[in-house]
Amino acid sequence: MTEHILEAYRVDIDTRTAPGGDQRANPDGWKVSAHEIKAGVVYRDEKTKVTAFPTQHAMESYGYRFDTPDRSIVISGDTSPTEETIKACAGCDILVHEARAMEMFAKLPEDRRSFGAKNHTTSEQLVALAVKAKPRLLIVYHAWISSWPSVPPSGSQPVVLTTGEFHSSAEALQKEIGARYSGRFVIGQDLDVY
């Protein structure tokens, strides 16, 4: 896959790294060192250990646990709820997990709802998972939250992320999770620091 992506961007890479290009000072910046992983420790140094664990998405997928001397952080990635995520957290300091608001999920066409049920997590499912995993802080992300105005699809327009009608709000997700979960949680936003 990497070879094909690099080939697709070959003209762009050549243009940017050529004399006069905006990346000429970093001529090797495009090089990729990909390696396949499997569940287990994927990185370790004197201060950090990173452990991959299987998750459930449309294809082979992994979440990651980061252990440092002062904290443990688990990131789910796109996934439906799994026991592996609960085991990976097991009282971790921070669990970063995706969730979809039930009110938004109910608006989706059946085919999208079916896909979502197999590959994503609803607010109700996340609460059940977090109760078992017991993170000190739950950060909810990848939630199809939008501050854009609702733009209903027209004609044969597909349901896409830019179709505001199929987004939720941070307030709706906060309310759904807060009604069922007594632990500490936040709805994560880009560039937030915890």
Between strands 40-44 and 49-56, the pairing is antiparallel
Q: Is the pLDDT of residue 162 over 50?
A: no
Tell me how long the chain is.
194
Count of CB atoms situated within 10 Å of the CB of 180: 13
How far apart CA 48 and CA 39 sit, in angstroms, is 17
**Fold for domain 36-187?**
Metallo-beta-lactamase; Chain A (3.60.15)
Predicted confidence (pLDDT) per residue in 113-145, tens digit: 888 888 999 999 999 999 999 999 999 998 776
Q: What are the start-end ranges of the E strands in the chain?
A: 40-44, 49-56, 60-67, 72-75, 94-98, 137-141, 185-187
pLDDT tens digits, 168-190:
788 889 999 999 999 999 999 88
CATH 3.60.15.10 domain position(s) in the chain: 36-187
pLDDT in the model for residue 31 = 92
Residues 29 and 44: beta-carbon distance below 8 Å: no
